[in-house]
């Protein structure tokens, strides 16, 4: 995601994008520690994308004279990450991979 792309999103979409990226980063960190992450550079890319979204959100909050994280607090309750990009399917694959790994070590 480029920083310029964030200008085309509404506040709510930008908050949801940030929350989705944070969820993906948590999953990638978990896969890294369970040795299931193939592309370790994805962590760096996700971390930078999260920073870009947070920077855009803070700029919007400053422009609207809002306190820090006001937009996130306002729109986070409407976030449902499982339905937006199929994250439920991804977490199912992740959990089955962990179960397979644990069964293989017995």
Give pLDDT tens digits for 18-32: 999 999 999 999 999
Say how many domains are in the chain: 1
* Measured distance CA(59)–CA(64) in Å, rounded: 9
pLDDT value of position 106: 54
pLDDT value of position 8: 87
Q: Which domain holds residue 86?
A: 3-104
Burial 22-51 (b: 16+ CB within 10 A, else e): bbbbebbeebeeeeebeeeeeeeebeebbe
Tens-place pLDDT, residues 46-59: 999 999 999 999 99
pLDDT value of position 86: 45
Q: How confident is the model at residue 85 (pLDDT cuts 50, 70, 90)?
A: very low
Its pTM surpasses 0.85: no
Residue 16 has pLDDT above 60, yes or no: yes
């Amino acid at each position: 995601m480029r920083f310029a792309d964030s200008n085309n999103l509404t506040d709510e979409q930008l908050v949801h994008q940030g929350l989705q990226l944070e969820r993906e980063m948590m999953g990638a960190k978990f896969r890294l520690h369970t040795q299931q992450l193939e592309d370790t550079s994805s962590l760096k890319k996700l971390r930078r994308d999260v920073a870009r979204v947070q920077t855009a959100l803070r700029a919007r909050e400053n422009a609207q004279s809002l306190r820090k994280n006001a937009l996130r607090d306002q729109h986070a309750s409407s976030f449902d990450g499982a339905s937006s990009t199929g994250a439920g399917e991804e977490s199912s694959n992740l959990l089955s991979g962990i179960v397979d790994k644990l069964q293989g070590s017995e």
